[in-house]
A and B are shown apart, each in its own frame.
Chain A
């Protein structure tokens, strides 16, 4: 049956030439600011939150406290970086917390019980995270499981594995060298923070400056388009989950170094906060959108809230409420800039002018 053709723009009556020339002249300045504004919102929010806490408590903005915030945000940031890639492809990874626990317990066991050198244990942990993540990717692409279901399943499996390794017992007395690698200071800057910076820079390059990164965005934007353009969509997805698993593993190792021990479920609290960091930072669960810097800021905001509320002697039970509110508000604002009915009318008028007849 025939379908009426419904081009979304209305420019049939205008003389194309004149419209086009206007468009050519104005196109650039018109798009740039809107893009930046959206990304800017989160930075402004971060600054505002820091200033408010700073005003409420004099100790908040001291160098020592800011360093504490950065350290406490580092695990969320590392895991959140991987989540950002996954979310950009339109997926979700619920297994990151379990992978962090599993990797932490395995590496610690290797060092404490098997006497493996800290460096090798570190590499083994990273490799284990990568394999766990890749397995998620294989389940999702080859068995066609929805990402939510596949990683819900492996979340439980990897957590179970972590318990099995030590029969549920924590591993104490992690070698000093290992702790030194991930929980010390270089020129007053915590290693974990340097690690976050390096990983974030690499992730940014990977996402924005490689073919792989462009394929990740294309896969999330329109999987069919990517597939028909010759992108090996399955490989992209497996790689993204492997990356997420690997970074979760790194996160797990940082946790071990920080508390000097491996707990069997040390990673689980980071699942939701890492996803929240990515989402606050502008990652869209529908796919196609996400920002590395945004995720870092998201993690910082969550770290600042936890820290600030403690300084203000707010009972820790309230922390979760505030965290939840921040997630809801951040996403609502992001959506609002795109499509709340009230704001839609205005932006639609604009976009209609923007489109030009062929």
Chain B
């Protein structure tokens, strides 16, 4: 029997504190299109990175055409014909279509590449995007760029191609053309394709096989003919819940203290409104890219061109900048802690004082370090910051403790509303529970808390109420028993309407 085109055997990969992949086995035949499905954080990216040679697995092996590849570097991967088309098109806008197709090739290879170029251009044309080889990529639409990326990945003797969310920027009718061409190429040239997408109808129409990853293991493998959207989703969800339960759920008749209406963001958040009560934790679930972060940033006016009205305690507050939102009592704890939440090279206490004007001043215009340190130490003690030394630079703390410093920037102020974006990203399990307890304590103290998270167990165990976002809109609201992984994922992916009535 002929060896399969690609075989991954017992692949395992751990990052400090996180086991990303655990004993993954996977085969791909020539001409086969296999969908790789899974929630955010299930291990898809890690698996693609290992396939592309940019990550080295801790255990297990990559076998291509029956030959075991030991030290698989990105260069070797390319030489073997393993191509990965990333979600963000990796093309140089200043170069022409042709130059982009030739990128990374020596001048000798370029001279021999004429046939491949023609083939790639023909492929793009058949996808529904006729492109001029000499046209600069700058003028192309995102959809055209994606199509170009796909064609480039399929050209030049590709054997195994991974397409990561290739259709996000495309319209319905374009998607069909692209998928048809992808199928043709796979079948006529015997290319094995790994397809990653959250769009279930596409997955059902394009793939031969589906592999569902959950918590870093293969949870479900089946031929596409023998499964349904519902089965796939059911196998994606159900991650282990952390042993965390809110100690202080919201009091039923708490007053609405935060209300945002007609919030828009220039990147395409439709006018959205959201209220939150004192002591309430509102979760916002949704796929990455659904506009959740932008919604939070629009509330505090972090980006130019956002609009919306914000009321605190029923009073309209004029907010034109993060400074206004800070002074109105709104805190934003961003996703990228190291770049957006902290100044790494200054002490923890100076970070805490970053949200201050004159509150820590001593003599006249001079600040009092003693006051800053005292305020930071008080917050540190309450949150059991470790190490408890607030004179250490922010850089020297671990992820979870850095997050506590970011939260401490806001707790010393009279902050009524906390907007969290991925509050436990890069935080290990013990640290997560501590952050959850802090969020619970903030709500218990009467603040309204809004949590955006891709970690469904996190949203489920924290929230009194969950809103699901899709393509810049709230598509559903969940309370009580309706807050479960299945209904959240179904709504986030947009397959709820057709399956549950």
Contacts and interface: CB of A to CB of B under 8 A. Distances in A.
Interface of A: 1-12, 16, 20, 23-24, 27-28, 31, 205, 209-211, 214-215, 217-218, 221-222, 224-232, 288-289, 351, 354-358
Interface in B285-329: 288, 300, 302, 321-323, 325-327
A7 B16 contact: yes
B354 A214 contact: yes
Contacts of B238: none
B436 to A, nearest CB: 12
Contacts of B404: 358
Interface of B: 15-18, 20, 38-46, 49, 87, 164-165, 196, 288, 300, 302, 321-323, 325-327, 332, 334, 339-346, 350, 353-358, 361, 365-367, 369, 386-389, 391-393, 396-401, 403-404, 409, 425-428, 430-431, 434-435, 454
A358 B431 contact: yes
A2 B41 contact: yes
A28 B387 CA distance: 10
Given A16-B386, A225-B354, A217 B399 contact: no
A28 B389 contact: yes
Contacts of B339: 222, 224-225
Nearest to A10: B16
Nearest to A24: B387
A284 B353 CA distance: 23
Contact of A228 (B322, B389, B435): B322
Contacts of A205: 366
B428 A357 contact: yes
Given A12-B16, A214-B367, 15 more contacts: A3-B41, A5-B17, A5-B18, A7-B15, A24-B389, A28-B391, A209-B367, A211-B367, A221-B346, A222-B342, A222-B343, A288-B343, A289-B345, A356-B401, A358-B431
B43 A4 contact: yes
Nearest 8 pairs between A and B by C-beta? A358-B400, A358-B431, A221-B343, A230-B326, A2-B40, A230-B323, A12-B17, A10-B16
23 contacts: A1-B40, A1-B288, A2-B42, A4-B41, A5-B425, A5-B426, A7-B398, A9-B398, A11-B17, A12-B17, A24-B389, A27-B389, A31-B393, A209-B367, A210-B367, A214-B353, A214-B367, A222-B343, A224-B340, A225-B354, A232-B321, A355-B396, A356-B387
Given A20-B387, A355-B396, A228 B346 contact: no
Contact of A229 (B44, B87, B409): B409
A129 to B, nearest CB: 22
A229 B366 contact: no
A215 to B, nearest CB: 8
Nearest to A205: B366
Given A16-B386, A210-B365, A356-B401, A1 B165 contact: yes
Output the residue of B41, B332, B399 with the most chain A CB within 10 A: B399
B384 to A, nearest CB: 9
B387 A1 contact: no
A226 B354 contact: yes
Nearest to B369: A209
B387 A209 contact: no
B20 A356 contact: no
A2 B44 contact: yes
Contacts of A289: 345
A2 B288 contact: yes
B398 A356 contact: yes
Given A16-B386, A210-B365, A229 B354 contact: yes
Contacts of A356: 386-387, 397-398, 401
B14 to A, nearest CB: 9
A10 B340 CA distance: 23
A158 B414 CA distance: 47
